Chain A
């Protein structure tokens, strides 16, 4: 039979991710692209890029699931599913024994209670940027550092400071005060990582912490936060090689399951005619 393909597209607040798999769950291609507000609408371009890596055309894709912050009204998607469910599925694909998933993205932090790849319960941060990627971005900005620098720097710390301000903007103020008072940069950054890890840890403990604990999202690339999380949770924290991909991959896997289930039930597979158009946000 002719091979069939599935796509998951995850439109996050700052990044857009696409994963293309085949019916054997083989990951054929993925793109993780930094996309600003304006550019999120151009998810079609990201999709094209992913396709070009595989040589598959859009018409050969059987089923597309959109997830993430901007999932609504993706013209070339068959279905929208929340990043919560998709992350759970994607993370379980990286680490089958995962029981607690932690995802810290640009907009929010999530805790996912997972069993056998299924989402059982979740918690999400709200109303406050503390404990999200933004928190670190804003501070990195102040320090004139790139996000990637923070982790390595913090590892040098001998005695981290404590950052008491919850508000991101004031935490930034606190950072400046510490630095001006001559506190070494690494201790300040370590303090920040501890602050964010502390908040997230408090939140996810509501779900009960049991291994495997898997940490995904942009912030998971920051080794400093990974260490801080391990300290705060008192258990090892696993990070997949592509921590940003779990949502898109999960979406693709769910797309595949949807079709496989339909086939098993002998339902006809209707492929929608896909137009690679800009994402619109008008109802």
Chain B
């Protein structure tokens, strides 16, 4: 035991460091671009814009990532306070508030990057690409940046039907056309802004790059089902940024980095090496966005034998093949390669027989417990941590229902931890650790219950 106590609780992947470092290049590239007078876009993380912008040689910088970077270095505080001074209500998204504070500082310094900005800072945007996907903040926030920048804003539309309506025949095709037309409009706009024409083969390149990265991320995640869990969610988060933010900008390097990571994780699986340097007492899933300012909290949990083997956010989708023979339109090819119907997702995830049950369930209940909770079963989790964010409605509202469904289906209990993505003052590590200790009782109890019910884990 004493030997173990000396080692660090987490056993990080070596291949992670190189990938994590790639993210800094985003800000370097931004800096250089500004110097060379290349257009810089501030972009929201979503499925479509990044590859397109990079195909048009527009440098993409992600304020969402930058805000979490500030938080991770405990430097977000002053920016948050500045946004309060700017008159923004304090309950708004922490990413947005940090970004507003940053923008206000920038204007104050006539467009210069604030000296206190970490990682070289974000250059002034020529273009803001907001997203109607995932949450309202992502278009309201960029719209309100008009107070600070004269950069035009494009809010990229994407459909977000609820599961039941999504299964209605015709919905998928309509939404596909919606995406195709929206992206065409978007490209027209970009051509206007940059004065350049889109080179469609480039889009093929950046697009396929991101698809390849998604493929590798998905394969790595499949490996994570092993016991003991070979890759901790902290490593997942550390490389997530490189994959999602830099994938389209520098596909070859990012693909290579993920290939290396795949090999390392595979090696760990083959030699049953765990992601934590403690006996794997509990396997858990982390639901919600990461507490960027307090990631070390997960180390103290790892120290108690908690291995976070999966997570709900930023997960790669299962790769799929579509027959595009006869599809010549580059935008349509781009969309059809990555947008698929919920029905086919269900078919592939569950296999014909269970799939039809899941679909019935959706038609009956409006949503499917099985669909939402399947990773808990696949990764055989003993418990789930629900990160309720005090500044994020969309990530927080559904969590408790999820917890009920989970307990009800698989007898897997959930622990609610209140905190925030950015604002340290909203997270209480001492309280949370206390609750975690109590939660071990609960996980033990339900492990017994699952056993008595003859469940797989």
Interface residues of A (CB under 8 A from B): 164-166, 198, 202-203, 205-206
Let me know if B222 is at the binding interface, CB within 8 A. no
Bound Cα distance from A198 to B82, whole angstroms: 12
Contact (Cβ within 8 A) B425 A206: no
Tell whether B84 is near chain A: CB-to-CB under 8 Å. yes
**With a CB–CB cut-off of 8 A, which chain B residues contact A165?**
425
**Complex alpha-carbon distance, A205 and B87, angstroms:** 9
Shortest beta-carbon distance, B91 to chain A, in Å?
Answer: 11
- Could you tell me how many residues of chain B have their Cβ less than 8 Å away from some Cβ of chain A? 7
Which of these, B84, B86, B87, B425, contacts A166 with CB under 8 Å? B425
CB distance from B384 to the nearest CB of A (A): 27
Total A-B residue pairs with C-beta atoms closer than 8 Å?
A: 14
B272 within 8 A of A: no
Asked whether B425 lies within 8 Å of A205 as measured between CB atoms, the reply is no
Interface set of B (CB-CB < 8 Å, partner A): 81, 84-87, 424-425
Q: How far is the CA of A249 from the CA of B157 in the complex (A)?
A: 58
B contact residues around A205 at 8 Å (CB): 85
Query: Would you give 14 A-B contacts (Cβ < 8 Å), ordered by A?
Result: A164-B424, A164-B425, A165-B425, A166-B425, A198-B81, A202-B81, A202-B84, A202-B85, A203-B84, A205-B85, A206-B84, A206-B85, A206-B86, A206-B87
Task: Report chain B residues within 8 Å CB of A166.
Answer: 425
Would you give the shortest CB distance from A171 to chain B, in whole angstroms?
A: 11
Instruction: Give Cα distance in the complex from A165 to B84, angstroms.
Output: 17
A202-B78 Cα distance, complex, nearest whole Å: 10
With A166-B425, A202-B85, A206-B86 known, 11 other A-B pairs at CB within 8 A are: A164-B424, A164-B425, A165-B425, A198-B81, A202-B81, A202-B84, A203-B84, A205-B85, A206-B84, A206-B85, A206-B87
Complex Cα distance, B425 from A26, in Å, reads 49
A271 to B81, CA, bound (A): 51
CA of A30 to CA of B425, assembled, Å:
43
Q: In the complex, which residues of chain B have a beta carbon less than 8 angstroms from the beta carbon of A164?
A: 424-425
Q: Which residues of A contact B87 (CB under 8 A)?
A: 206
Cα–Cα distance between A206 and B88 once the two chains are bound (Å): 10
- Chain A residues near B425 (CB-CB < 8 A): 164-166
* Alpha-carbon distance A255/B269, docked complex (angstroms): 83
Instruction: Give the residue among B85, B86, B87 with the most A Cβ atoms within 10 A.
Output: B85
CB distance from B86 to the nearest CB of A (A): 8
Of all chain B residues, which has the CB nearest A128?
B90
Chain A residues positioned under 8 Å from B81 (CB to CB): 198, 202
A202 proximity list for chain B (CB < 8 A): 81, 84-85
Main secondary structure of the interface of A (DSSP, over half): helix
Docked Cα-Cα span, A198 to B84, in Å, equals 12
The complex places the Cα of A206 from the Cα of B83 at a distance, in Å, of 10
A164 to B81, alpha carbons, bound, how many Å? 14
Distance of A237 Cα from B87 Cα, bound (Å): 23
How far apart are the CA atoms of A206 and B90 in the complex, in Å? 13
Q: How distant is A206 from chain B, measured CB to nearest CB, in Å?
A: 5
Q: In the assembly, what is the distance between CA of A203 and CA of B86, in Å?
A: 10
Q: How far is the CA of A166 from the CA of B85 in the complex (A)?
A: 17
Contacts of B85 in A (CB 8 A): 202, 205-206
Q: How far is the CA of A202 from the CA of B84 in the complex (A)?
A: 7
Q: Which residue of A lies closest to B85 (CB)?
A: A205
Q: How far is the CB of A20 from chain B (nearest CB, A)?
A: 40
Chain A residues contacting B84 (CB-CB under 8 Å) are 202-203, 206
Listed from nearest, the 8 A-B pairs whose CB atoms lie closest are A205-B85, A164-B425, A202-B84, A202-B81, A206-B87, A202-B85, A206-B85, A166-B425
Chain B proximity of A163: nearest CB distance (Å): 10
What is the CB-to-nearest-CB distance from B279 to chain A, in angstroms, rounded to a whole number?
A: 32
Tell me the minimal C-beta distance from A181 to chain B in angstroms: 12
Bound Cα distance A166, B427 (Å): 11
Q: How far does the alpha carbon of A150 sit from the alpha carbon of B424 in the complex, in Å?
A: 27
Name the residue among B87, B424, B425 with the largest chain A CB count within 10 angstroms: B425
**Chain A residues within 8 Å of B424, by CB:** 164
Looking across the interface, which residue of chain A has its beta carbon closest to that of B83? A202
Bound together, the chains give a CA A278 to CA B418 distance in angstroms of 48
Query: B87 → chain A, closest Cβ, in Å?
Result: 5
Q: In the assembled complex, how far is the CB of residue B426 from the closest CB belonging to chain A, in whole angstroms? A: 8
Per the bound structure, the CA–CA distance linking A164 and B424 in Å amounts to 8
CB distance from B100 to the nearest CB of A (A): 13
Closest chain A residue to B425 by CB distance? A164
Kindly provide the distance from the CB of A105 to the nearest chain B CB, expressed in whole angstroms: 21
